Amino acid sequence: MNFFRNCGSYLSSIMFLSVLFFFGCAQKKQGSLSQIVAGVDSLVGNPDYLSTPFATAGDRVYMIGSQNGQFPDLGWHVTGEMGGIWDHPIKLLDGFTAAILVDNKFYCLSDATTFINFPFANKHIFELTELGIRVERLQFVPDGKEAVVVEYTFHNKGNAEKIIEFEWTAFTDLRPTWLGERTNMIDATDKIVWDETQKTWMANDSLNPWFVTAGAPLASSSFGKTSSCDYQPAGKGAKASMIYAITIPPDGSVSLPITIAGSYQSPENLKATYTDVQENAEKYLVAKKVRFEALANRTKLTIPDKALQKAFEWVKYNTDWLIRDVPEVGRGLSAGLPDYPWWFGVDNEYTLQGAIATGRVDLVLSTVELIHSLSEKTNGNGRILHEVSTNGTVFNPGNINETPQFASLIWQVYQWTGNRKFLEKYYPTVKKGLKWLLEENDKDENLLPDGFGMMEIHGMNSEMVDVAVYTQKAFADAAEMALILGEVEVAKRYKLVADQLHTKINTDFWVPEYNSFADFIGTREQALYLLDDAIIRADTLKKPWAVAELKATRKKIQILAPGQKQGFVLHHNWVVNTPMEMGVADTEKALIALKTGSQFVNPYGMFVTGIDRDESAGKDVSSFAKGKKIFSYTGAVMTLPTGVQAIAENNYGHPDEALGYLKRITRSFGYALPGSIYEVSPDYGMMTQAWNLYSFAVPIVRQFFGIQPRAFEKTIRIQPQIPTSWQEASLENVLVGDNELSIQFEVKNGQRQITLSQTKPDWKMHLAFPKGKYTQWELDGKPVKPAVEGDFEVLELTGSKMVVRVK
């Protein structure tokens, strides 16, 4: 892969000029791209957050700037460099400036009054009152292209013709991604060459085959290397400025689309991309619009709570924004923007469960393959990696929880798709991973692997509760896989381990005096080490209740025998709720623990670390980001823990409580970025986060609507538990295997009516309700009697459309 090595001085100025012929200056009649997005669902940003980030996303390229139209240095993974325009594994531009020149005076377009987000594009509006001109800047990234299109539309609000000069300046920064140095991607100074004949420019990194260019169908009247606007980004980039002469008719408008293209391979690739996108921008925008309409209609939710309905729809869009496609490495979901635009094992093990439930089979398959192939290349023993940059460099070969969670993901995907080849392909890695899990990480052979799980707190690497829970689920799921593939004895062995872990979780991890499962099992010495740090943390955050509790706990721990292992509750970390998330907790303990967990919330959801909560249980709805100078998750409320709690409540028959947690997450929808939910509620960390899809899709699709597929058997169990406030609810076009399912619920005349339809009438649907919940059942207007299966009454159905009434 040629972008992973230092290539020396790649092109001379002569070579630059030889490839610049393709940038013609011919003008092409073109309609406004804004006309294509007219009428598309859009959301207007909060004016108080115009200085915060937005993203214009594509699978090859994305652009990050501020909602006010600027491109400040932002991000911390590569300090100040996570914004701008990225074509992973390289960056193209730090950003650009734009200005209008009238009567020798420049007006910089750097202070937008309005930001509008569309599912697949966005727009900034600049009001130049003094000139009687409104400028709209619309941008989108074509699917599969290393380019972004930025269209400026100049509106003349007066009744006389206006002649202006428009200056557009690009600030190049052709540099490598995070960890680029590990593959010898060494950043050097950018060089720009201008072709006076063709009236355009090209830049490349002086040591690497990394290129960027920009231009418009209208020929620029002049070129320069300065900007009239005050913008000085960090880095080794250069400036390239073009000026266009524009005449705006009275009470009319003129549009100027600018295409920015990049390549990390060759000038020929750059040429092809630039020409293609400039000539076909309208076609590509229409195609993207159609594709997003299909996303909206897949797993389409209609409920009385319109805020939650809107959030669910946009979370599906957000997921698409995070697709990173680097053909030399792979295609898959990244974790979040702006600082995690690469791939993670665990993030995808959560997110892809939501993706498969919302019909993104293509994305699920490619992401699983990406994570699997990189894990095998790095580890080769079934261990699943944690984090890998877009140049293929693995930063962390894997935390302990990621390996069992991968096993459960494979089982979940198989149930939804029925794809036996998929199961056969990844099952050997599941087996290797479970072997590695216990043979390499369980020194005392008690079936509880030691090591870091989801909590990245220094020292929390003993026997963690989430690792134990996900290990139990993995062995239970692997037993099912083994049976399907004819490995009966292996299935028995896996089930035995799962059963033993089930018992251990409900005994060894249960701490009655705290009405909670333990954060971890460890020795007195391990607990005291963590406890001292926890006291400092709670005292620093001014949480006196937590300090008092922790000091009391220390007294109890100090009298324990040295080396004695037991479960400890110190931090009240969110992972203590994973036994309920996976349905492993015994019902009696689960109900107690869920009540305990409900104390560690604020209006936006669950605290990551419970001792960070306010004594008032968090009534503050203000910004979390305000005033923070150093990036830290301390004190954070996050969407994943809140989604986990919603799933946990549903597992024990509490849909109203589960809905309450989803409402908490929804409070931060659009708080800072319209159409998105931040990683840390309501406005901190990543401005869009992949695992939000898990937090919405699993509770809604698999639990409220109760869709539990076994596509390999052509059966779907429908075990709904609709919140009591939803008198009407529907979920349409749910993809299961090659079948599409739609479910509609409504309360009529004291009866609950369930309408089920599917495109494969020969598939069996098993409608299940708890035994005794309803005494009267009707199918298509005729009384029927369901079968009793354990704690449920189940009605077997086949056909294209069935109407069931229960009372």
pLDDT (0 to 100) of residue 31: 60
CB 108 within 8 A of CB 96: no
Domain 298-702: assigned CATH number: 1.50.10.10
pLDDT (0 to 100) of residue 153: 97
**What integer is the mean pLDDT of 617-621?**
74
The amino acid occupying position 210 is W
Residue 320's closest CA among 302, 293, 301? 293
CB 735 within 8 A of CB 356: no
Distance CA 35, CA 16 (A): 36
**What integer is the mean pLDDT of 508-537?**
93
Q: What's the 3-state SS for 9-77?
A: CCCCHHHHHHHHHHCCCCCCCCCCCHHHHCCCCCEECCHHHCCCEEEEECCCCEEEEECCCCCCCECCC
Stretch among 64-73, 106-115, 579-588, 605-614 having the lowest mean pLDDT: 605-614
Angle of helix 420-441 relative to helix 465-484, nearest 10 degrees, comes to 140
Three-state DSSP at 278 gives helix
pLDDT (0 to 100) of residue 259: 97
Torsion of CA 285, 290, 291, 293, to 10 degrees: 130
Stretch among 26-30, 144-148, 306-310, 340-344 having the lowest mean pLDDT: 26-30
Integer angstrom CA distances of residue 715 from 222, 333, 357, 743: 67, 29, 15, 15
pLDDT (0 to 100) of residue 460: 76
**CA pseudo-torsion sign 782, 788, 794, 798:** negative
A 10 A CB-CB count for 207 gives: 17
Distance CA 98, CA 115 (A): 16
CB 489 within 8 A of CB 536: no
Split at pLDDT 50, 70, 90, the class of 14 is very low
pLDDT (0 to 100) of residue 27: 37
| Helix intervals (H) in 601-710 | 639-651, 655-666, 692-697
pLDDT (0 to 100) of residue 197: 66
Kindly tell me if the per-residue pLDDT of 446 is higher than 50. Answer: yes
Kindly tell me if the per-residue pLDDT of 13 is higher than 80. Answer: no
Split at pLDDT 50, 70, 90, the class of 627 is confident
Across the chain, mean pLDDT equals 93
Angle of helix 420-441 relative to helix 361-378, nearest 10 degrees, comes to 40
Q: What's the 3-state SS for 433-456?
A: HHHHHHHHHCCCCCCCCCCCCCCC
Distance CA 679, CA 639 (A): 6
Distance CA 583, CA 97 (A): 53
Angle of helix 655-666 relative to helix 306-321, nearest 10 degrees, comes to 60
Comparing 23 with 222, which gets the higher pLDDT? 222
With residue 178 as reference, give the H or E element that holds it. none
Distance CA 31, CA 404 (A): 53
Stretch among 194-198, 371-375, 479-483, 745-749 having the lowest mean pLDDT: 194-198
**What integer is the mean pLDDT of 128-138?**
97
705-806 architecture in CATH?
Sandwich (2.60)
Q: Would you state the structure tokens that stand for residue 569, as one six-digit string?
A: 């509750």
Buried b / exposed e across 495-522, counting CB within 10 Å, b at 16+?
bebbeebbebbbebbbbeebbbbbbbbb
Kindly tell me if the per-residue pLDDT of 316 is higher than 60. Answer: yes
Backbone angles phi, psi at 733, to 5 degrees: 60, 50
Integer angstrom CA distances of residue 1 from 178, 185, 380, 388, 472: 17, 11, 22, 16, 40
Residues 171-206 pLDDT 10s: 999 999 999 999 999 999 999 998 776 678 999 999
Residues 91-107 pLDDT 10s: 999 999 999 999 989 99
Kindly tell me if the per-residue pLDDT of 456 is higher than 80. Answer: no
Kindly tell me if the per-residue pLDDT of 450 is higher than 90. Answer: yes
Residues 554-604 pLDDT 10s: 999 999 999 889 999 999 999 999 999 999 999 999 999 999 999 999 999
* Class of domain 2-294 as given by CATH: mainly beta
Angle of helix 306-321 relative to helix 345-357, nearest 10 degrees, comes to 130
pLDDT (0 to 100) of residue 1: 37
Q: Would you state the structure tokens that stand for residue 407, as one six-digit string?
A: 């096993």
Split at pLDDT 50, 70, 90, the class of 723 is very high
Split at pLDDT 50, 70, 90, the class of 617 is low
Q: Is residue 338 reached through a cis peptide bond, with omega within 30 degrees of 0 on the bond before it?
A: yes
Q: Would you state the structure tokens that stand for residue 588, as one six-digit string?
A: 């009696």
pLDDT (0 to 100) of residue 198: 65
Residues 729-760 pLDDT 10s: 999 999 999 999 999 999 988 899 999 999 99
Kindly tell me if the per-residue pLDDT of 357 is higher than 70. Answer: yes
Kindly tell me if the per-residue pLDDT of 16 is higher than 90. Answer: no
Q: What's the 3-state SS for 495-562?
A: HHHHHHHHHHHHHCCEEHHHCEECCEEEEHHHHHHHHHHHHHHHHHCCCHHHHHHHHHHHHHHHCCCC
Residue 342's closest CA among 377, 380, 401, 393? 393
Residue with tokens 């139990």: 472
Three-state DSSP at 474 gives helix
Across the strands, what pairs with 752?
747, 806
Kindly tell me if the per-residue pLDDT of 266 is higher than 50. Answer: yes
Please give the DSSP secondary-structure letter assigned to residue 275: H
Work out the burial of residue 603: count CB atoms within 10 Å of its CB; fewer than 13 is exposed, 13-18 middle, 19 or more buried.
middle
Distance CA 230, CA 223 (A): 18
Backbone angles phi, psi at 30, to 5 degrees: -145, 135
Stretch among 57-71, 406-420, 604-618 having the lowest mean pLDDT: 604-618
Q: Would you state the structure tokens that stand for residue 641, as one six-digit string?
A: 């823990």
Contacts of 27 (CB under 8 A, 6+ apart): 217, 218, 219
Kindly tell me if the per-residue pLDDT of 773 is higher than 70. Answer: yes
pLDDT (0 to 100) of residue 23: 36
CB 641 within 8 A of CB 580: no
Distance CA 257, CA 673 (A): 25
Three-state DSSP at 82 gives coil
Please give the DSSP secondary-structure letter assigned to residue 384: P
pLDDT (0 to 100) of residue 457: 75
Kindly tell me if the per-residue pLDDT of 26 is higher than 80. Answer: no
Split at pLDDT 50, 70, 90, the class of 616 is low
Q: Which residue ranges make up each domain of the chain?
A: 2-294, 298-702, 705-806
Angle of helix 345-357 relative to helix 402-417, nearest 10 degrees, comes to 20
